[in-house]
Amino acid sequence: MIRFLVSFKRRFPWVWNRIEELNGVLFRLRYRNMDRIAGDVLGHVLVASCRFSLLKKEDLEVLEALLVRQGENNLKWFHPHAFDRKTLERLYRNPAFLMMTVTAPDGAMVGYFFLRSFFIGRAFAGLLVDQPWQNQGIGTAIWAACADICHQAGLKMQATISTENKPSMISCQKGTEVLGSRALEDDYIAVKCRQRPS
């Protein structure tokens, strides 16, 4: 299923956008409390003195700047969507695409993560941490927060991770309980994970 979705999205982006809109409508009907659940979970996360929160509309410009300023090395394995303002606004309007941020004590946005959810009960996680803020436990906290949100909302959590992206794989294993993985194209693996047992 993951292989098909990734391939379909790459080959037919215009059709994918219409499917995402329909999915957003159906997702909102089935998962009405997603924003409240996410807000509650994120409000209890504190790592490296950073604040975790839902993205606000007025943050879109700052998010675009964060994504655009990332070097090629930091974006090597992170290309879940285009980074232009039009795309970010379209995703922000979609209830099935939950956008979240990590903010430093000085107010700078230093991380971006999301759950791309489907009304059938699945959610795909993705994340990016600004280079100067890596290796401080933020990625692990993001994985854990996404797993907690999915658990409380009743969603099965998945992700695609490059086999070359060792830091992301390690932080995923630290922040979640990995249930299994399988190979995809281009040296990526599909990972199923859930909230770590307490």
Question: Is the residue at 29 inside a domain?
Answer: yes
Provide the 10 A C-beta neighbour count for residue 70: 17
Question: Is the residue at 179 inside a domain?
Answer: no
Judge residue 114's burial from the number of C-beta atoms within 10 Å of its C-beta, 0-12 exposed, 13-18 middle, 19 or more buried: buried
Question: Is the residue at 183 inside a domain?
Answer: no
Per-residue pLDDT of the chain (198 residues; tens, 9 = 90+): 556 666 777 777 778 788 899 999 999 999 999 999 999 999 999 899 999 999 999 999 999 999 999 988 889 999 889 899 999 999 999 999 999 999 999 999 999 999 999 999 999 999 999 999 999 999 999 999 999 999 999 999 999 999 999 999 999 999 999 999 999 888 899 999 999 987
Question: Is the residue at 127 inside a domain?
Answer: yes
Question: Can you point out the beta strands (E) in the chain?
Answer: 46-47, 50-54, 97-103, 109-118, 122-129, 156-162, 176-183, 188-195
What are the CB-based long-range contacts (under 8 Å, 24+) for 47-51?
47/136, 47/137, 47/138, 47/140, 47/141, 48/133, 48/136, 48/137, 48/138, 49/104, 49/105, 50/102, 50/103, 50/104, 50/105, 50/110, 50/111, 50/133, 50/138, 51/102, 51/103
Question: Is the residue at 76 inside a domain?
Answer: yes
Look at the chain and report how many structural domains it folds into: 1
Question: Is the residue at 132 inside a domain?
Answer: yes
Question: Is the residue at 181 inside a domain?
Answer: no
Question: Is the residue at 122 inside a domain?
Answer: yes
CATH number at 102 reads 3.40.630.30
For residue 19, give its domain range.
2-156
